[in-house]
Structure 1
């Protein structure tokens, strides 16, 4: 997760307007398998934990060999990331993209790859590489007979300069410069945009400005009225804000996949196991229904499988559903 610009984004927004590929299904609720820790179980054990908890989709931030070998043949669908540090090579060289696909996709024929995410929360000058890298990876997959695996990227909610009400949503100036080509690519290839959406961050970085119940899916009624549509939770508001901002820049018809969301269980304001359980269980139940403007299941990935001890101290280390010893941080059901 990237935190740059989150606080300023929400301050501004509040001021301006208080898996082989598998078919889309309502079961497409997955969990991100982050590995920024030195005490995690073996990948084969982790895959078993996914299966025993009924988690059918996995997001990997890089093509980790152990994870891909372990998840092959299980039917668990996989998003695999082409990390930010390879973007410049992928953008500059079709041959580099073909090599990346050969080593990280074709080498694992029993893995149910769903998407390749080219970059995660790419910012600054590196954004100029996004669309070219996506084009080259897409072409490499097609040439390998794997064109059913969609190519996308994952963006931060911080690229929304205005998010509430959703109909007023717009990208930041920086994001407008690179999102046009990205969205045109996604529209042409039939791929979704992946977005990391964190109501917790909006709540925690704007003390007193956002009601906790609105962030936790526990508000008793409409909090934000937007024309004929009433919004009871910040998750829906942000998802529909992405749709409006995307439509302004050539992305009409491009679906949104929520590639990260969650609530920390420690290290920050209202970061408790109880609140994390409320958010994530309500999320799992809610995304099967969709948003006011986009009813129907929202493909969503909870962050994250484990608490990760090599991340920055505080909330960053406490997003896991499980401790590294594989005990639940709090009870949760994916059924």
Structure 2
């Protein structure tokens, strides 16, 4: 997210055997769903425990925001695929020279031969004042990976929902003028290298910004019928509308074959308007059940990552601390069943 616990209550605390039963079906029912493993907490379990939770609960893919040596060490040989970030603070260095990118790749990617890397994400919601470094950094990292024999790792970046100026109707989707200033270079890079665009998309924030003018059922996947009719396409949920609006915006910048990956999405369980255990459970449950269907314009699986693995107590107080599927104790925050 742009701004990146207590023990579980008796009602929502379950043993690990039940956790295994709950999550193992992710493999068959929703293989496109991963989880974001943030580390902004001073009470989180060690990486070895977290990786054990991922493996035991059937998660096959995880997103890391930086190349945490402990996490990568634990993930080596686990069979779990890894989306890893090059943080915003290193983007200018990576853009400065090919040799800087080669050294970064050597220290953070080549040093972990047992890890199955899926994407290397250069920057997460890079501030507009630093976006001039973004594509040069991506080009240098792409070249460094190729030189190291790791060209199968796709290089991309993650953008915020705030880059989208028009969400509805999706056919009118477009980037903000500010976002076009750098996305007009990012999109051709992704089109040329056949890499996806990662986007952090939160129907929760769109709903809370439009309190009183949007029915929450549209945001929670619970609308009983079409809410937005866009030509031949009918939309029953805001997630699909946002993804398809982004596809439209990307196509307008010359990226007809660029795939969208939803690199963060979720719903907070406390700390703000409409943030509750029930709404968080409803959103994430329906997300997992829905992504295999694709969107009206792109009826194929949507690769999506639930935000986040844990409630993180070092984040800003309020909703930012309450996105987790798990408490740091490893107990679940609320009941949820992954898969059909």
Give TM-score scaled by structure 1 length.
Answer: 0.92
User: C-alpha separation between the residues in 1 aligned to 2:30 and 2:285?
Assistant: 15
- Identify the match of residue 59 of structure 2 among 50, 55, 60: 55
Query: Is the partner of 1:316 in helix, strand or coil?
Result: helix
Query: Is the partner of 1:304 in helix, strand or coil?
Result: coil
Query: Is the partner of 2:293 in helix, strand or coil?
Result: coil
Query: Is the partner of 2:123 in helix, strand or coil?
Result: strand
User: C-alpha separation between the residues in 1 aligned to 2:108 and 2:190?
Assistant: 22
Equivalent residue, structure 2, for 1:13: none
Are the counterparts in 1 of residues 32 and 291 from structure 2 also a CA contact under 8 Å?
no
- Superposed CA deviations along residues 21-64 of structure 1, whole A, max 9, x for unmatched, are xxxx9612100000001000000000111112211110000000
Deviation at 1:162, TM superposition (A): 0.9
User: C-alpha separation between the residues in 1 aligned to 2:106 and 2:255?
Assistant: 30
User: C-alpha separation between the residues in 1 aligned to 2:218 and 2:247?
Assistant: 20
User: C-alpha separation between the residues in 2 aligned to 1:210 and 1:128?
Assistant: 36
Query: Is the partner of 2:247 in helix, strand or coil?
Result: helix
User: C-alpha separation between the residues in 2 aligned to 1:332 and 1:266?
Assistant: 16
Are the counterparts in 2 of residues 79 and 115 from structure 1 also a CA contact under 8 Å?
yes
Superposed CA RMSD in Å reads 1.0
1:277 equivalenced with 2:281 (yes/no): yes
Give TM-score scaled by structure 2 length.
Answer: 0.91
Equivalent residue, structure 2, for 1:71: 75
Alignment of 1:1-335 (within 5 A): 1-2=1-2, 27-335=31-339
Query: How many residues are matched?
Result: 314
Are the counterparts in 2 of residues 82 and 118 from structure 1 also a CA contact under 8 Å?
yes
Are the counterparts in 1 of residues 265 and 306 from structure 2 also a CA contact under 8 Å?
yes
Name structure 1 gaps, 5 residues minimum. 4-24
User: C-alpha separation between the residues in 2 aligned to 1:26 and 1:244?
Assistant: 25
Comparing 122-131 and 214-223, the one that deviates more: 122-131
Equivalent residue, structure 2, for 1:16: none
Are the counterparts in 1 of residues 221 and 236 from structure 2 also a CA contact under 8 Å?
yes
User: C-alpha separation between the residues in 2 aligned to 1:310 and 1:112?
Assistant: 29
Query: Is the partner of 1:288 in helix, strand or coil?
Result: helix
Structure 1 moving runs of 4+ over 2 Å:
none
Query: Is the partner of 1:148 in helix, strand or coil?
Result: coil
Deviation at 1:251, TM superposition (A): 1.3
Does 1 or 2 have the higher relative contact order (CA < 8 Å, sep 6+)? 2
User: C-alpha separation between the residues in 2 aligned to 1:256 and 1:158?
Assistant: 16
